[in-house]
Amino acid sequence: MRYKVTAVLALSLSAVLTACSGSGSTGTSGSGKVTIRWSTWGTADDIKVYDGFEKDFEERHPDIDLKLEPVAEYEDYHPKLLTQLTSKTAPDVFYVGDDNIGKFVSSGVLKPLDADLAGPASKSKPADFFEGIYGGAKKDAVTYGMPNDTNPEVLWFDKKALAAAGITENPADLYASGKWTMAKYLDMNAKLKAAGKAGSLFWNWYGSTYSVINGFGGKVWDGGKFVATTNPKSRRALQTLADGYQDKTFLSADELPESNGPETQFIRHQAGFYAGGRWVIDNIKKGGDLDNYDIVPFPSQDGKPMRGAVAASYLAINKDTAHPKEAFTFLTEFVSKEGQKIRLKGGSAVPSVKGAESIVLDGYPKHAQTFLDVRDTGFANYPDEVAVPGLTASINEQLLKVWTGKVAFGKGLTDLQALVDKEIR
């Protein structure tokens, strides 16, 4: 499910791979045009969001043909892409998820972008993007991928469910007045549980877990060391999550049956809070009363704003592309302000670039500015973590054992620390 949290992207077809000249590019067509192959993941409906951009791009660049080679499932996408890169059949340009970018950077298969980004042909200057969302796409001050869009992790709340639990305060109003604290949030969750509802629905990924840790004032990584299991505040946050999952104050969306999944429960007022990004709008539109829902950042200890998690993905260039100039033209326009306005209009993601905020500030939800506030100061997954292939997935898997009570809390955290220490040696 992991990319359900981040967004919106592309479908699968079985791509026809025509290898030539040491890279996977289809080269120059009979008409003299250069064909740029690019790839992402998603459903048939998802990739429709790219139609407008591709049409606009090809009209302005008649010498370039674009060929999209999507893959349906996120879980299948990166293994396939790595195989293609090894066999020199990979696309010229491709998406990389925030939990996989470190693997691709360390493998040396991505073209460094800084010189091109600073050059005269660039339409996406580094200063136009928010430093925190690069995550593992930068290494040793070198940029290997550009954030194509984002999905800041916020707390959606159901006003009807809160009222049914006797909660009269509005979380967004509390946040605006500096009173949205972790203590206030947990108290609301307890009242929702007492009223026969779930307090919060969380997907088991770093965005929710690390946001709660931050909300307790804890740390996840510190000086290259994983400290979530040893930092006292972090450990208290994880204990609170474990206790909440096991007494059903919190529900793990990953563990819910398809017939009564998180979207269904939220729309039916069975839970007060649902942690997610702008993509939740699509779920609400399918069956919810739009005016009944709003958003608020994750709470902090003292009610002051804190850094929140931001799901991201990156557009990168194949180091072995036969057409680096045309590949960069595509990349820089795709992630530019103008490109994101075309791609994301009416969609469910948040721009990664300055100047395209109007996409989000379209009137819904009431506090849509929260998406931008979290994006502007937030963080993509920690570079120390994503630099190790598969580490994020392993951490999530181990924590799920703790959440579900399959492993006792103390042993679970001891095992988690051992797992991370082994992987980062």
Peptide bond into 365 cis (omega under 30): yes
pLDDT at 27: 57
* CATH fourth-level superfamily of 154-308+390-424: Periplasmic binding protein-like II (3.40.190.10)
pLDDT in tens, 134-160: 999 999 999 999 999 999 999 999 999
Per-residue pLDDT of the chain (425 residues; tens, 9 = 90+): 444 443 333 322 223 222 333 344 455 555 679 999 999 999 888 888 899 999 999 999 999 999 999 999 999 999 999 999 999 999 999 999 999 999 999 999 999 999 999 999 999 999 999 999 999 999 999 999 999 999 999 999 999 999 999 999 999 999 999 999 999 999 999 999 999 999 999 999 999 999 999 999 999 999 999 999 999 999 999 999 999 999 999 999 999 999 999 999 999 999 999 999 999 999 998 887 899 999 999 999 999 999 999 999 999 999 999 999 999 999 999 999 999 999 998 888 999 999 999 999 987 999 999 999 999 999 999 999 998 988 999 999 999 999 999 999 999 999 999 999 999 88
Decide if domain 2-152+311-377 falls under CATH 3.40.190.10: yes
Q: Where in the chain is the domain with CATH 3.40.190.10?
A: 2-152+311-377, 154-308+390-424
Q: Which of 33, 17, 20 has the alpha carbon at shortest distance from 66?
A: 33
Order the strands of the 154-158 sheet from edge to edge: 250-252, 198-202, 271-276, 154-158, 293-296
Residues 6 or more apart whose CB falls under 8 angstroms from that of 134 comprise 143, 145, 147, 380
Structure tokens, 87: 């066999």
Classify 139 as helix, strand or coil: strand
In angstroms, the CA 329 to CA 92 distance is 12
